[in-house]
Amino acid sequence: MSPSSTHSAHLPIPDTQSERDERHLAIQRVGVRRVKFPLLVQTERGVQPSVGEWTLDVALPAEQKGTHMSRFVAWLEEGAEQALDAATLRSRHLAMLEKLHASDGVTEVAFTLFERKRAPVSGIESRLDLQARWVVETRGGQTTVWQEVAVPVKSLCPCSKEISDYGAHNQRSIVTVRVEWLADKPLPFSAQMRFAEDSASSEIWPLLKRADEKWVTERAYENPKFVEDLVRDVALRLNADERVGRYHVDVENFESIHSHSAYAVIERN
């Protein structure tokens, strides 16, 4: 190593991000997104490993030039072995804000969750994959946690059944149930899943035998639902549950006789 290299190695490294910015413009959200990182999800049945896709950001004051981007990933590494539920993630989120010296910010993670299901007749067991998400946001001293799960179900058209001599068009639907998580009345993902499945023409299973397939076909035919029926029935179940405050329900039907989807949304704020 040359003398000049030795000398420069002992010089303090400038902290450019902490310098003042003279444009006087605050930034509401700055951070990292689409960060893939291992995730341990604490469920009712134990810990389930998954892979999370994270979005992490903070608010930046007008006088500060930049945030410290490396600290977001460092924060993930610090909690890599900790199993998360909504309560734990809320605590970790507040620790992230402290680490970045920020008052406001967002922690969001999307991941795949598996739920065991038994087929309706044979009882054979399989695992249904669900797309889940937590969003923790702090604004103005208030921290809110949202818990979301997208549930695949089956819907059958009442109009098609009514006008047809044989059969009725039916399709897979996705019911996305997003609720505000309440610390004193926590709601598990499995309950959100049931709100969707119990409201559909039929729930679905990854693995079915012939007797199960017959049951699903007949169940849907006897229980037709428009997209409007489905979203309303989910909302009624949410309204009746004391663990649910604010919510957002989105239903999308992947129409089997059209090239487009039908959708409906109900929110309670």
Query: 14 falls in which pLDDT band (50, 70, 90)?
Result: confident
**CA–CA separation, 24 vs 20, rounded Å?**
9
C-alpha to C-alpha distance for 187 and 191, rounded to whole angstroms:
7
pLDDT at 7 exceeding the cut of 70: no
249 near 233, Cβ under 8 Å?
A: no
Maximum Cα–Cα distance for the chain, whole Å? 92
**H-state helical runs in 100-239:** 158-163, 189-197, 210-221, 227-239
In which band, very low, low, confident or very high, does the pLDDT at 13 lie, cut at 50, 70 and 90?
confident
**According to CATH, what is the number of the domain 27-268?**
3.10.270.10
- What confidence tens digit (pLDDT) does each residue in 103-150 have? 999 999 999 999 999 999 999 999 999 999 999 999 999 999 999 999
Q: How many CA atoms lie within 13 A of 66 on its CB side?
A: 9
- For residue 252, give the 3-state DSSP assignment: strand
Mean pLDDT of the chain: 95
What is the structure's pLDDT at 154?
A: 98
DSSP of 138-174, one letter per residue?
A: EETTEEEEEEEEEEEEEEE-HHHHHH-SS---EEEEE
Backbone dihedral region for residue 140 (phi beyond 0: left; psi -120 to 50: alpha; all else: beta): left
Q: How confident is the model at residue 16 (pLDDT cuts 50, 70, 90)?
A: confident
Packing angle, helices 227-239 and 189-197, rounded to 10: 140
Q: pTM of the entire structure?
A: 0.90
Domain boundaries, the chain: 27-268
Neighbours of 13 (CB within 10 A): 6
pLDDT reading at 237 higher than 70: yes
Calpha distance 56→76 (Å, rounded): 10
Phi, psi of 122 (to 5 degrees): -75, -25
State pLDDT tens for residues 154-197: 999 999 999 999 999 999 999 999 999 999 999 999 999 999 99
**59-97 residue pLDDT tens:** 999 999 999 999 999 999 999 999 999 999 999 999 999
